[in-house]
A and B are shown apart, each in its own frame.
Chain A
């Protein structure tokens, strides 16, 4: 019997009532009396020197309050980078400045040059057009390998080159890896591109700065996944505002997919200008601006080599990746191609020797940072493509080759630093074979072929490191912040509960799932529990939501705080029933004395805590409110196996995804419906990356070619099939109290390789000698590949 409440129940998402009826409160819904509006004049060239900037005519335009340029920010800090990577030679990465408004040079199309604050958005835009900016165009650096060539133009004049870092992992293993390749019975090599993506959350970014002269307090309302991270970065590094004078509010947020983790120039600008002008300043991004100012994702160019022995055991793996950083270092950009990528290169396999080399490169493009999966999709894509290619070269079944090399004993120390605590990769593969009806594929292929279509089946596994992260470990790896999370459980007098959490919900359903956990622990109704998030003045200092961490890290903090509540409530109950605390049991919202029929209800205990007339005041404080911080001892390792079945029209090259199946091990599940929804969304994004999405720059001019939905293809409902998803193969996480692993990114991480594997399978079944097609596999690309 499925449960109808508590852990394991598919409780309906309570937040959907407001989202689906237009009653949400998004940042753009907030309007503060007296607010002015900012419009950013953005560079329309990829690379140039600012020769002169004349704002006098613009300043005289109707409604203009003030025009700011880079000069106004000379005494202000630049946007900080939150992660320092150390290169192969022990040197810190190159870390260029990132001014709020361009100083001296513009470095990508969309780089903000000036900001016009006016009485209305239209007046601000009109005046921005009247700014006379003389920009001497410089050669644009777009292609990564060209950017590293001798004599290439430099994105940052004060750096020695366009190289951010040359990272080797594990550097000490390099010699052993090379030796293993020399001895290999078979080596499979593959070069591939992980295409640049634009996150495209439904809600574009918005920021409102507000300043209270009476108290000296600044407030930033912003579309963020992590208000405390923004408070920390902006307050401490950019504007120098102490925490108690800076409030950051991220109200309802319409999707982030990573792109709303980072601290952006527009946030710092609005906060700064609100104080300078003593009035609220609002910015609402247009979709066009989003394309050229939201951090992009992926953009890796890789070569991967897999060595096998004569029995098809993986003996070594070697990769070389060029990772695009864009023009500046976005908040967590350096960590993505390194620690979030290299550490996952073992995948689900017991390859004993691995060496990963990553060259991070500056180019005249929008900064690139974490996007759903962040580094782990890039690792999975390379690995699962090269394994598929190896299976074809060796003429063995790709599923059997994977099974043969699976890690089967846990905990497993990989050669790339991390320790998988638990997992069962054969179980998810068994489940996949069942739900994907792999046995029935041959018949389906025959049916497609009878209609003149090619049909292909592609399979892959994935593993990810989630629940980011043990603070001491990531500190050693270069993180400049802790990665714990926090929750405060505030029980009210009548027994209802507000839980203030550091995680932020922007589509994940925390407002529904988190209460399920507390309700389960206390045995009370979910509807008595409310989640509060997103406002730094209301919640404890948590690090926000990304890396599939909310339930694993913040949920664990919530469990710990609830345990403290239970302990204290038992003391109160013991007092009320004149019993020993050790004999008190809590079940279904009733405290009882073991072995007796004495009991008091949850509400009696909570009332006693706040109306302490009959209360052990000499032993415990009144009230019932507890906070816990939780810092995990390891990452969590969700893993699974995915299968994609495509049909290819051999005449046009068009690929149709006919079936997609996902068998995931997410450990314990709190709300299966929400988990399925997260997987569905991730699969949509992964299929989008594989077939449709392509953020492209003109290699000569650096103009963004896919700058709107006319050219940037988002997946639509009819681009994806009905999914078969299963998360019944659960090996609970061994080190967090809920045994949960996180499910937010799996779909996006696990799906692109199987789509590509399926297309290659289809083409080869049609007699085409195609071994690889870069994503997105547009009809034109597939057809061109088929022409040989």
Chain B
């Protein structure tokens, strides 16, 4: 890695100020950023660690029944603390990477990074969550903008994520055999207003809502044999476009079955 300055502020305000300096970058759990630095694929002048900001950590149930998770909360903490309130979300967090990754990596880092194969984006989009930053609130439907691309501005920090808690939900992750990220992951959440289906790992445009399936469910139709268009799906060593499209259908049905 290249040399960089390092700061570890104690509050969001200080972090925002620190991130204003030239080529500064936030450091969450470092589970994506540190390997990138080691490979010399990024060269920030300064890393601003969010790890010392107490107000960004923890899981709490709001009065309106929604669940707020601090942007600096680790996957392991979500797996533990959200289990009673939002089991599908907790299970998703508990299935990310390995114990080392889960005890360092954070939800804010995952959502900011928006890896097309990451798990959390499907939960945020599938739950219609709200991404809360140091300066505004962004609806999940507006937040994800393609591979590794989000609505965040330069230096903007995810301070928390607010999840409306569904009546039932389920996440089906089909492992990419090498990385064990999601080859395809489907998050299905059922709310009074309807069912949301978000798919990660599959599309060249990153996480997406499978609206056709949502509509079919709303009209009471079954999803048997249904799959999204293969066009626009990711093709790589681990799966063809057609396979990813097919898996999306299979995993969605399995999620619904698990919820039934």
**Contact in complex: B178, A780 (CB < 8 Å):** no
Interface centre among B40, B178, B236, B238 (most CB of A within 10 A): B178
**Do B39 and A288 touch (CB < 8 A)?**
yes
B177 in contact with A652 (CB, 8 Å): no
- Point out the residue from A288, A652, A711, A784 that lies within 8 Å of B174, measured CB to CB: A652
Provide a sorted-by-A list of 16 A–B residue pairs whose CB atoms are within 8 angstroms: A125-B40, A129-B40, A652-B247, A691-B177, A705-B237, A706-B237, A711-B179, A711-B237, A711-B238, A714-B178, A778-B238, A779-B177, A779-B183, A779-B243, A784-B242, A787-B242
Task: List B5-40 residues whose CB lies under 8 Å from chain A.
Answer: 39-40
Contact digits for B146-185, partner A, Cβ 8 Å, 1 yes 0 no: 0000000000000000000000000000100111000100
Chain A residues near B179 (CB-CB < 8 A)? 709-711
Contact A784 B243 (CB under 8 A): yes
Per the bound structure, the CA–CA distance linking A82 and B236 in Å amounts to 38
Instruction: Say if the beta carbon of B246 comes within 8 Å of chain A.
Output: yes
Inter-chain contacts of B237 with A (CB < 8 A): 694, 696, 705-706, 711
Q: B138 to chain A: which residues have CB within 8 Å?
A: none
Q: Which of A734-749 contact B (CB under 8 A)?
A: none
| Measured CA separation A293–B239 after assembly (Å) | 27
Select one of B39, B40, B178, B239 contacting A779, CB under 8 A: B239
Digitize B38-65: 1 where CB-to-A-CB distance is under 8 Å, 0 elsewhere: 0110000000000000000000000000
* Closest Cβ neighbor of A691 among chain B residues: B177
Complex alpha-carbon distance, A655 and B177, angstroms = 11
A710 and B240 contact, Cβ closer than 8 Å, known pairs A288-B39, A652-B250, A783-B246: no
Complex Cα spacing A288 to B40, Å: 12
Cβ contacts under 8 Å, B247 to chain A? 652
CB proximity to A under 8 Å, residues B212-260: 236-240, 242-243, 246-247, 250
Closest B residue by C-beta to A710: B179
A216 to chain B, nearest CB (A): 39
- Among B174, B177, B239, residue most surrounded by chain A Cβ atoms (within 10 Å): B177
CA distance A712 to B40 in the complex (A): 21
* Sample of 15 further A-B pairs with CB below 8 A, known A694-B237, A711-B237, A779-B183: A129-B40, A288-B39, A652-B247, A653-B243, A692-B177, A692-B178, A706-B237, A710-B178, A711-B178, A778-B238, A779-B174, A779-B243, A783-B246, A784-B243, A787-B242
- For this complex, into which size category does the number of interface residues on chain B fall? 10 to 19
User: In the complex, which of the residues A125, A713, A784 has the most CB atoms of chain B within 10 Å of its own CB atom?
Assistant: A713
Interface string of A710-738 (1 = CB under 8 A from B): 11111000000000000000000000000
| Contact status of A712 and B242, CB under 8 A, knowing A652-B247, A652-B250 | no
Report chain A residues within 8 Å CB of B246: 783
A713-B243 contact, Cβ under 8 Å, with A651-B250, A652-B250, A694-B237:
no
Against B, the Cβ 8 Å flags (1 = close, 0 = not) of A73-100 are 0000000000000000000000000000
Binary A-proximity of B184-195 (CB < 8 A = 1, otherwise 0): 000000000000
Partner of A709, one of B178, B236, B243, B250: B178
Q: Are B178 and A712 in contact (CB under 8 A)?
A: yes
User: Which of A651, A652, A713 is B178 in contact with, Cβ under 8 Å?
Assistant: A713
When the two chains form their complex, are residues B177 and A713 in contact, meaning their CB atoms are under 8 A apart? yes
Partner of B177, one of A696, A778, A787: A778
Asked if B239 contacts A780 (CB within 8 A), the reply is yes
- B interface vs A, CB < 8 Å? 39-40, 174, 177-179, 183, 236-240, 242-243, 246-247, 250
Q: How far is the CA of A712 from the CA of B177 in the complex (A)?
A: 8
CA distance A778 to B40 in the complex (A): 31
Q: What class of interface size applies to chain A in its complex with B? A: 20 to 34
CB < 8 Å: which of A125, A129, A706, A780 contacts B240? A780
Q: What chain B residues lie within 8 Å of A653 (beta carbons)?
A: 243
Residues of B within 8 A of A783 (CB): 243, 246
- How far is A36 from B242 in the complex, measured between Cα atoms in Å? 52
CA distance A425 to B178 in the complex (A): 37
Q: Min CB distance, B4 to chain A, in Å?
A: 13
- Interfacial chain B residues near A787, Cβ < 8 Å: 242
- Inter-chain CA distance A783–B239, complex, in Å, is 10
Contacts of A696 in B (CB 8 A): 237
Nearest 4 A-B pairs (CB), nearest first? A713-B178, A780-B239, A713-B177, A780-B243
How far apart are A31's CB and chain B's nearest CB, in angstroms?
A: 22
Contacts of A710 in B (CB 8 A): 178-179
| A contact residues around B174 at 8 Å (CB) | 652, 654, 779
User: Nearest chain-A residue to B250 (Cβ)?
Assistant: A651
> A125 contacts which chain B residues (CB < 8 A)?
40
How far, in whole Å, are A353 and B24 apart by their CA atoms in the complex? 71
The chain A residue with its CB closest to the CB of B179 is A710
Complex CA distance for A706 and B236, rounded to whole angstroms = 10
Instruction: Tell me the complex Cα distance, A692–B176, Å.
Output: 10
* Contact residues in B for A778 (Cβ distance below 8 Å): 177, 238-239
| A457-504 at interface with B (beta carbon < 8 Å) | none
For B249, the closest partner residue in chain A by CB is: A651
Q: Which residues of B contact A712 (CB under 8 A)?
A: 178
CA distance A285 to B246 in the complex (A): 40
Give A780 to B179 CA distance when docked, in angstroms.
16
Closest Cβ–Cβ distance, residue B133 to chain A (whole Å): 29
How distant is the Cα of A653 from the Cα of B39 in the complex, in angstroms?
Answer: 34
Report A425 CB to chain B, min CB distance, Å.
Answer: 34
Which B residues lie within 8 Å of A709 (CB)? 178-179
CB contacts (< 8 Å) of B39 on chain A: these are 288
Q: State how many angstroms separate the Cβ of B108 from the closest Cβ of chain A.
A: 22
Bound-complex Cα distance A784 to B241 (A): 11
Instruction: Verify A784–B250 contact, CB threshold 8 A.
Output: no
With A and B bound together, what is the CA distance between A783 and B248 in angstroms? 14
In this complex, what residue of A is CB-closest to B178?
A713
With both chains docked as a complex, state the minimum distance between the C-beta of A711 and any C-beta of chain B, in angstroms: 5
**1/0 contact string of A677-718 vs chain B (CB within 8 Å):** 000000000000001101010000000011001111110000
Which A residues lie within 8 Å of B183 (CB)?
779
The smallest beta-carbon distance between B109 and chain A, in angstroms, is 17
| Smallest Cβ-Cβ distance to A709: which chain B residue | B178
A710 shortest CB reach to chain B, Å: 4
Please report the C-alpha to C-alpha distance between residue A783 and residue B236 in the assembled complex, in whole angstroms.
Answer: 15
Cβ–Cβ < 8 Å partners of A780 in chain B: 238-240, 243
Q: Bound state CA distance, A779 and B237, in angstroms?
A: 11
Bound complex: CA A705 to CA B235 (Å): 13
A779 proximity list for chain B (CB < 8 A): 174, 177, 183, 239, 243
Considering the complex, give the chain A residue whose CB is closest to the CB of B184: A652
Closest B residue, CB atoms, query A692: B177
Smallest CB–CB gap between B258 and chain A, Å? 14
- Residues in A whose Cβ lies below 8 Å from that of B242: 784, 787
Instruction: Give chain B residues whose Cβ lies under 8 Å from the Cβ of A713.
Output: 177-178
How far does the alpha carbon of A715 sit from the alpha carbon of B98 in the complex, in Å?
15
Contacts of A288 on B, CB cut-off 8 Å?
Answer: 39
In the bound complex, how far is the Cα of B174 from the Cα of A710, in angstroms? Answer: 15
Return A290 CB to nearest CB of chain B, in Å. 14
A778–B237 Cα gap in the complex (Å)?
9
Q: How far is the CB of A119 from chain B (nearest CB, A)?
A: 16
CA distance A273 to B103 in the complex (A): 44
Report A-chain residues with C-beta under 8 Å of the C-beta of B243.
653, 779-780, 783-784
Instruction: Collect the chain B residues with CB atoms within 8 Å of residue A714's CB.
Output: 178
Residues of B within 8 A of A652 (CB): 174, 247, 250
Shortest CB-to-CB span from B241 to chain A, Å, is 10
Contact call A784/B240, Cβ cutoff below 8 A: yes
**CB proximity of B13 to chain A, nearest CB, Å:** 35
Return B42 CB to nearest CB of chain A, in Å: 14
- Give Cα A713 to B247, complex, Å: 20
Q: How far is the CB of B236 from chain A (nearest CB, A)?
A: 8
A651 neighbours in B (Cβ, 8 Å):
250
Closest Cβ of chain A: how far from B38's Cβ, in Å? Answer: 9
CB 8 Å contact bits of A126-147 with B (1 = contact, 0 = none): 0001000000000000000000
Residue of A125, A288, A694, A711 most packed against chain B (CB within 10 A): A711
CA distance A188 to B39 in the complex (A): 49
Which residue of chain B has its CB nearest to the CB of A711? Answer: B178
CB-CB contacts of A416-455 with B at 8 A, as 1s and 0s? Answer: 0000000000000000000000000000000000000000
